[in-house]
Chain A
Amino acid sequence: MFHIRLTTILAVSGALAFAAAGCGEDEAAEGSSSSSQSQDLTGSIRIDGSSTVYPFAQAAAETFMGQNPGVQISVGQSGTGGGFEKFCAGETDISNASRPIKDDEEVPLCEKGGVEYAEVQVANDGIAVVSNKSLEIDCMTTGELKELWSTSKVKRYSLFGPGTDSGTFDFFTDEINGEEGLTRKDYQPSEDDNVLVQGVAGDENGLGYFGFSYYEQNADELNLIGVDAGDGCVKPSAETIQDGSYKPLSRPLFMYPSAKAIARPEVKAFLDYVEQNQEQIASDAQLVAMTSEQAAKAQQALRKAEQ
């Protein structure tokens, strides 16, 4: 009896699974695009790269596919470096990057693979410096930040930050400490920004830095520290990141489409869609949109590549 019941359950679930595999539901969210896209685009687009740019790529892909159901877009998170590796091997169509492609290591790789590309900015991101709510620090100068993070002199805080392999780490150490990779050793590193939030919020001497969107989600548990780069104290916000007044911890985010990919109509349509709707997409992805100048520059780069 027991045997029969089990077999039946299995047969039914197996049948369900495989029969249904052929007709998966696909409820993409409604897009908010104003331009009309062709309904009969087909093809597939492979995107991979930075996990910071990933939410942007995903939001764009989802809303684009909502209007162009014939196109299948997939987005990976292999990291900026891993993304370029696959990109230069010709395995992906677009590479997401939280930093420009590296001249000494990655550009030659793409040359070797015969991959030509365009550098298109798509959004902005900021790094927030935060502390536990019990510490009432309103502002720190870049000099103070540098001393705090590049030497082990200041010991009164419990420090948290991204791991040495992350783009956020690279960027912060480059901008604040003066050299990429230069940092004190006695801080708690983590891969996961959520964990850093928890660390800072949970320790009364907690202080750390991570992506701005993670601060935004947890603003009521953290104390935001403004950065003074010589022009007064600036706190990060969508506006200050966008117009660059939150210095030096604002950075551009990129997508690198390959020349071969752009030649395909579905990829071109996708990139045009991204360019036209970048503000909405950035908002959906909880990133910071580009200024009109940045957008114009990106548009130019895209046009050039589309020739």
Chain B
Amino acid sequence: MDAVAVFGEPRKRRGEQVIKGLLFLAALLSVLTTAGIVFSLLEETISFFGDVSVTEFLGGTEWYPLFAEPTFGVVPLVTGTLLVSGVALLVAVPIGLGAAVYLAEYASPRVRRTVKPVLELLAGVPTIVFGYFALLFFTPEVLKPLFGEPLQGFNALSAGAIMGFMIVPTIASVSEDAMSAVPTSLREGAYGLGSTKLQVSTRVVFPAALSGIVASFVLGASRAIGETMIVLIAAGLQPNFTADPRKSVETMTTFIAATAKGDAAVGSTAYKAIFAVGTLLFVLTFVMNMISIRFVRKYRQVYE
């Protein structure tokens, strides 16, 4: 066996190297993007911390940067973000996963081909539309009758629930792709041993597709945390420090959006707060993703 037969023609090998290089550059773009984001946020963030101490920022529970006596405690924004995203995932994960399992395991190819696009259409509805739907329909017609007085006109529950529906297609589509890709041989083997469809779906397909499913969750959670318009319109802008989803909240994203489009003077501390909150958001999602990557790597099944 000569070297060419084993390793390929030298020209082909160099061609492979070039291709590998190009692909690497494409992947590197993500690092460049992150670097770019960090740079564009950095200067103003550092300047912000010249005006406001880190302890006040991270520990304070009053966020009123545009008041006459401004306070810069970011905690209410973080809890607001977690509250709304939490509600969203509570809605999106079961519905999305349920839809995915049905499409992958129970639906005929024709049903699958029609329903999947319908779900994906849900993902294409502009977020402004969801926001106004939550505010003008969901809160008064669905939530107010259910919860009555303690529910504020702007509330985290409405924004979170509707946001959940927006995320369902992400979770459903990616999970469903993952489950469909599980080799039929695995299913057939299980059926051959006498399993019911329920058992095959939950004990064979689901674990085999777990990496894809978790990826869909992370994608969904990422979308939830970064979502702006729905929350801006339906959850209001009151920076309440609360775990009660019936109250109005302000999230990190809605603060950034409202202030960036508002009349705050460039160079004021409130303006710089945009960058500081942006940085915090970035750091938090970074940590969340590190944890999830570790989790996925640990549980990923390789089945061949």
Touching chains A and B, CB distance < 8 Å: yes
Q: Which of A106, A179, A182, A203 contacts B266 (CB 8 A)?
A: A106
B262 touching A163, Cβ below 8 Å: yes
Flag whether A147 is at the interface (Cβ < 8 A): no
Flag whether A265 is at the interface (Cβ < 8 A): no
A80 touching B153, Cβ below 8 Å: no
Query: With a CB–CB cut-off of 8 A, which chain B residues contact A181?
Result: 66-70
> From A181, which residue of chain B is reached at the shortest CB distance?
B68
Flag whether B54 is at the interface (Cβ < 8 A): no
B263 touching A99, Cβ below 8 Å: yes
Query: With a CB–CB cut-off of 8 A, which chain B residues contact A106?
Result: 265-267
- In the bound complex, CA of A105 to CA of B67 (Å): 17
A105 touching B262, Cβ below 8 Å: no
**A64-72, A191-199, A217-225: which lies at the interface:** A191-199
Flag whether B135 is at the interface (Cβ < 8 A): yes
Query: Quick one: which of B218-248 are within 8 Å of A by CB?
Result: 232-233, 236-238, 248
Known A-B contacts A190-B236, A195-B233, A198-B136; the reply to A165 vs B263 at CB < 8 A is yes
Q: Which of B64, B261, B268 contacts A78 (CB 8 A)?
A: B261
Shortest B149–chain A CB gap in Å is 12
Known A-B contacts A165-B263, A188-B154; the reply to A81 vs B237 at CB < 8 A is no
B263 touching A80, Cβ below 8 Å: yes
- In the bound complex, CA of A116 to CA of B135 (Å): 44
Flag whether B259 is at the interface (Cβ < 8 A): yes
- In the bound complex, CA of A199 to CA of B67 (Å): 23
B268 touching A192, Cβ below 8 Å: no
Flag whether A102 is at the interface (Cβ < 8 A): yes
Flag whether A50 is at the interface (Cβ < 8 A): yes
> From B270, which residue of chain A is reached at the shortest CB distance?
A165
A195 touching B135, Cβ below 8 Å: yes
Query: With a CB–CB cut-off of 8 A, which chain A residues contact B259?
Result: 165
Known A-B contacts A188-B238, A190-B154, A195-B233; the reply to A82 vs B260 at CB < 8 A is yes
Query: With a CB–CB cut-off of 8 A, which chain B residues contact A166?
Result: 262-263
B261 touching A165, Cβ below 8 Å: yes
Shortest B70–chain A CB gap in Å is 7
Flag whether B35 is at the interface (Cβ < 8 A): no
Q: Could you mark each residue 250-279 of chain B with 1 if its beta carbon is under 8 Å from any beta carbon of chain A, else 0?
A: 000000001111111111101100000000
Flag whether A170 is at the interface (Cβ < 8 A): yes
Shortest B266–chain A CB gap in Å is 4
A164 touching B266, Cβ below 8 Å: no
Shortest B34–chain A CB gap in Å is 24
Q: Could you mark each residue 140-155 of chain A with 1 if its beta carbon is under 8 Å from any beta carbon of chain B, else 0?
A: 0000000000000000
Shortest A192–chain B CB gap in Å is 7
B262 touching A81, Cβ below 8 Å: yes
Shortest B63–chain A CB gap in Å is 10
Shortest B183–chain A CB gap in Å is 27
Q: Which of B238, B265, B266, B271 contacts A189 (CB 8 A)?
A: B238
Q: Which of B66, B152, B233, B260 contacts A164 (CB 8 A)?
A: B66
B262 touching A109, Cβ below 8 Å: no
Known A-B contacts A106-B267, A109-B266; the reply to A192 vs B233 at CB < 8 A is yes
Query: With a CB–CB cut-off of 8 A, which chain B residues contact A108?
Result: 267
Shortest B109–chain A CB gap in Å is 13
Query: Quick one: which of A70-129 are within 8 Å of B by CB?
Result: 77-82, 84-85, 88, 98-99, 102, 104-106, 108-109
A109 touching B68, Cβ below 8 Å: no
Query: With a CB–CB cut-off of 8 A, which chain B residues contact A77?
Result: 261
Query: Quick one: which of B125-157 are within 8 Å of A by CB?
Result: 135-136, 140, 152-154
- In the bound complex, CA of A104 to CA of B269 (Å): 12
> From B140, which residue of chain A is reached at the shortest CB distance?
A202
Query: Quick one: which of A37-64 are within 8 Å of B by CB?
Result: 50-51
Shortest B195–chain A CB gap in Å is 36
A163 touching B258, Cβ below 8 Å: yes
Shortest A25–chain B CB gap in Å is 24
Q: Which of B70, B136, B237, B267 contacts A191 (CB 8 A)?
A: B237
- In the bound complex, CA of A85 to CA of B232 (Å): 24
Query: Quick one: which of A153-167 are within 8 Å of B by CB?
Result: 163-167
Query: With a CB–CB cut-off of 8 A, which chain A residues contact B66?
Result: 164-165, 169, 181
Shortest B198–chain A CB gap in Å is 34
Shortest A257–chain B CB gap in Å is 19
Query: With a CB–CB cut-off of 8 A, which chain B residues contact A167?
Result: 262-263
A81 touching B67, Cβ below 8 Å: no
Closest 9 CB pairs of A and B: A165-B262, A164-B66, A182-B68, A181-B68, A167-B263, A105-B265, A105-B267, A80-B263, A179-B68
**Chain A residues engaging chain B, CB cutoff 8 angstroms:** 50-51, 77-82, 84-85, 88, 98-99, 102, 104-106, 108-109, 163-167, 169-170, 173, 177, 179-183, 185, 188-192, 195, 198-199, 202-203
The 6 listed contacts between A and B (C-beta, < 8 Å) are: A79-B262, A109-B266, A185-B64, A189-B237, A191-B233, A198-B136
